[in-house]
């Protein structure tokens, strides 16, 4: 019965896509018309921004309501949203949200270190969390998003500071290299080396290399890729698995696959491809990972978050409900710097958008499942980012939507190659006590579930890495 129902729904979805006027009242948009896409994107963007209350009295600028239990969203998702809004401006030229975006990105930047490690958010500060803010300011530099006033940190500086602090945390002591998930040793997940953290380091390295022309960034990106393959997080078929623990030398691989990790690697590979002017092995890697990602995460041409969006039910965390949007945005930007991917990626983004529209109400509220032909009632800031990210990507061929610039081709952002301040937040954390050790044992027994993003669990847990940090210092 359940299976029968699911199949029936899917048929309806396909039917709805094939006819001009769907049965349900859905958001109206003509995917052949850039003007119509822009109008619908404006509605969806406004709906997305209705989740943001950071500039209201008593609230914190830059963040979405949270972190839990204060609201559903972790700190990083604010950073991801501002990146989405930069793309929104870039694709549509609508400046409505630019002021909020610039204000937010600067407010959370942790001046004067400029490294997106503000002490408020230490408890959920993963390399991936910091990295999402980093990727958003990198995008600001690449799209010539309005530069901050000269007495404030500049986009490129901020991106370099994030990159520098992360590159400094590269840890050869365990698993032959790699970044850990969490930054403070006291966070659960400090003993986990995962693909998302390393994906972002790779991505930022590739983009900084192309933007600045400084090959050091590309060499670090290459080191990350080699490590990811060596440790088996990327397999020969270009599946990218979630991660493993330092106690097991990263061999206890959690095989869950998340779409945003693949999207972040594709974008990074496209920049390496462009930076090296099409040289191998980047070209083949880019082709292979793109193919695998479209096949795995876009069954029937529609984005599905495979690890948690199951046929029978959705078991995605708030974090995971936002991943589809990053994939769409990042693989679209990949097309700009690797034009030979255009006819591979754009048809899939188009069919995915067609499914997505069926999930939206006429007011621009969108659901999570895009292969059901109707609104599923699962709404949130992540779902709005997914919808917006996918829809606006279809504007990529519009004449005024320019490919990412570099310092040599119109970029105006000023950098600081040495930025970042003290990368080791660990040094300011309190020393380990006997009570902490007892607590750690209990938490280790509870175990860390191998899901990415920022887990709520705050604790005094630390793995072997916590000890070796103190030994080595």
Ligand X SMILES: *[C@@H]1O[C@H](CO)[C@@H](O)[C@H](O)[C@H]1NC(C)=O
**107 vs 296, beta carbon nearer ligand X:** 107
Q: How far is the CB of 215 from ligand X (least distance, A)?
A: 8
By CB under 6 A, is residue 195 in contact with ligand X? no
**306 vs 346, beta carbon nearer ligand X:** 346
At 194 the three-state DSSP class reads: strand
How many residues does this entry show for the chain? 473
Residue 191, classified by CB atoms within 10 Å of its CB into exposed (0-12), middle (13-18) or buried (19+), is buried
Cβ atoms of 313 and 375 within 8 Å: the answer is no
Binding span for ligand X by CB under 6 A among 65-73, 94-102, 210-218, 305-313: 210-218
Binding span for ligand X by CB under 6 A among 211-219, 238-246, 305-313, 375-383: 211-219
Cis status, amide bond into 13, omega within 30 of 0: no
**84 vs 274, beta carbon nearer ligand X:** 274
Structure tokens, 110: 């942790």
By CB under 6 A, is residue 36 in contact with ligand X? no
Q: How far is CA 274 from CA 194, 338, 412, in A?
A: 26, 6, 20
Task: Quickly tell me which residue has 């041409």 as its tokens.
Answer: 301
In angstroms, how far is CA 383 from the centroid of its own chain? Answer: 14
Q: How far is the CB of 75 from ligand X (least distance, A)?
A: 8
Contacts to ligand X from residues 407-426, by CB under 6 A: 407, 417
Residue 433, classified by CB atoms within 10 Å of its CB into exposed (0-12), middle (13-18) or buried (19+), is exposed
- Residue 254 phi/psi, 5-degree rounding, is -80, 115
Contacts to ligand X from residues 288-327, by CB under 6 A: none
Tell which one of 70, 112, 146, 278 touches ligand X (CB under 6 A): 278
Binding span for ligand X by CB under 6 A among 17-25, 81-89, 206-214, 253-261: 206-214
**168 vs 437, beta carbon nearer ligand X:** 168
By CB under 6 A, is residue 231 in contact with ligand X? yes
Contacts to ligand X from residues 111-140, by CB under 6 A: 118, 120
Cβ atoms of 133 and 390 within 8 Å: the answer is no
Q: How far is CA 394 from CA 8, 14, 49, 373, in A?
A: 29, 20, 21, 20
Contacts to ligand X from residues 86-115, by CB under 6 A: 107-108
Among 69, 64, 45, which residue's Cα sits nearest to residue 390? Answer: 45
Tell which one of 29, 175, 253, 308 touches ligand X (CB under 6 A): 175
Q: How far is the CB of 469 from ligand X (least distance, A)?
A: 18
Provide CB contacts within 8 A for 75, sequence distance 6+: 63, 66, 67, 108, 120, 121, 124, 125, 129, 454
By CB under 6 A, is residue 281 in contact with ligand X? no
Tell which one of 68, 301, 403, 439 touches ligand X (CB under 6 A): 403
Distance CA 165, CA 422 (A): 7
Cβ atoms of 232 and 158 within 8 Å: the answer is no
Q: How far is the CB of 91 from ligand X (least distance, A)?
A: 16
**434 vs 472, beta carbon nearer ligand X:** 472
Q: How far is the CB of 273 from ligand X (least distance, A)?
A: 6
Distance CA 335, CA 429 (A): 43
At 126 the three-state DSSP class reads: strand
Q: How far is the CB of 108 from ligand X (least distance, A)?
A: 5
Contacts to ligand X from residues 326-365, by CB under 6 A: 336-339
Binding span for ligand X by CB under 6 A among 256-264, 269-277, 294-302, 462-470: 269-277
Closest-by-Cβ residue to ligand X is: 176
**193 vs 292, beta carbon nearer ligand X:** 193
Q: How far is the CB of 103 from ligand X (least distance, A)?
A: 12
Q: How far is the CB of 165 from ligand X (least distance, A)?
A: 11
Contact residues toward ligand X (CB under 6 A) are 60, 107-108, 118, 120, 164, 175-176, 212-214, 216, 230-231, 249, 273-274, 277-278, 336-339, 403, 407, 417
């Amino acid at each position: 019965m359940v299976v029968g129902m699911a199949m029936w729904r899917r048929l309806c979805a396909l039917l709805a896509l094939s006819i001009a006027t769907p049965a349900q009242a859905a958001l109206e948009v003509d995917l052949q018309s850039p003007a119509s896409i822009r109008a619908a994107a404006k509605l969806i963007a406004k709906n997305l921004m209705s989740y943001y209350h950071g500039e209201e009295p008593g609230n914190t600028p830059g963040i979405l309501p949270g972190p839990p239990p204060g609201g559903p969203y972790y700190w990083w998702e604010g950073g991801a949203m501002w990146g989405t809004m930069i793309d929104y401006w870039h694709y549509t030229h609508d400046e409505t949200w630019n002021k909020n975006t610039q204000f937010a990105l600067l407010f959370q930047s942790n001046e004067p270190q400029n490294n997106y490690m503000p002490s408020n958010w230490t408890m959920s500060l993963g390399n991936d969390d910091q990295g999402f803010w980093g990727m958003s300011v990198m995008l600001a530099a690449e799209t010539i998003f309005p530069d901050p006033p000269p007495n404030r940190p500049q986009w490129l500086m901020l991106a370099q500071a994030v990159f520098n602090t992360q590159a400094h945390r590269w840890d050869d002591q365990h698993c032959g290299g790699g970044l850990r998930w969490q930054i403070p040793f006291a966070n659960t997940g400090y003993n986990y080396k995962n693909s998302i953290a390393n994906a972002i380091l790779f991505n930022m390295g590739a983009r900084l290399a192309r933007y600045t022309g400084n090959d050091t960034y590309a060499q670090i990106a290459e080191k990350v890729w080699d490590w990811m393959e060596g440790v088996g997080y990327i397999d020969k078929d270009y599946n990218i698995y979630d991660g493993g623990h330092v106690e097991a030398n990263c061999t206890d691989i959690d095989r869950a696959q998340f779409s945003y990790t693949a999207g972040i690697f594709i974008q990074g590979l496209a920049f390496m491809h462009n930076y090296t002017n099409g040289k191998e092995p980047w070209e083949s890697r880019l082709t292979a990972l793109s193919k695998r990602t479209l096949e795995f995460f876009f069954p029937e041409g529609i984005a599905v978050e495979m690890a948690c969006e199951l046929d029978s039910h959705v078991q995605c965390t708030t974090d995971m409900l936002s991943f589809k949007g990053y994939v769409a945005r990042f693989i679209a930007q990949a097309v700009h710097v690797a034009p030979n991917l255009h006819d591979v990626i754009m048809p899939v983004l188009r069919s995915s958008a067609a499914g997505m529209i069926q999930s939206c109400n006429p007011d621009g509220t969108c659901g999570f499942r895009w292969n059901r032909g109707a609104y599923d009632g699962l709404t949130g800031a992540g779902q709005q980012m997914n919808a917006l990210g996918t829809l606006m990507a279809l504007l990529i061929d519009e004449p005024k939507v320019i490919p990412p610039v570099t310092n040599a081709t119109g970029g105006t952002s000023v950098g600081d190659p040495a930025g970042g301040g003290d990368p080791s937040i660990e040094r300011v954390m309190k020393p380990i006590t006997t009570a902490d050790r007892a607590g750690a044992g209990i938490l280790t027994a509870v175990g860390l579930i191998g899901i990415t993003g920022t887990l709520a669990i705050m604790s005094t847990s630390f793995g072997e890495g916590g000890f070796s940090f103190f030994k080595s210092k």
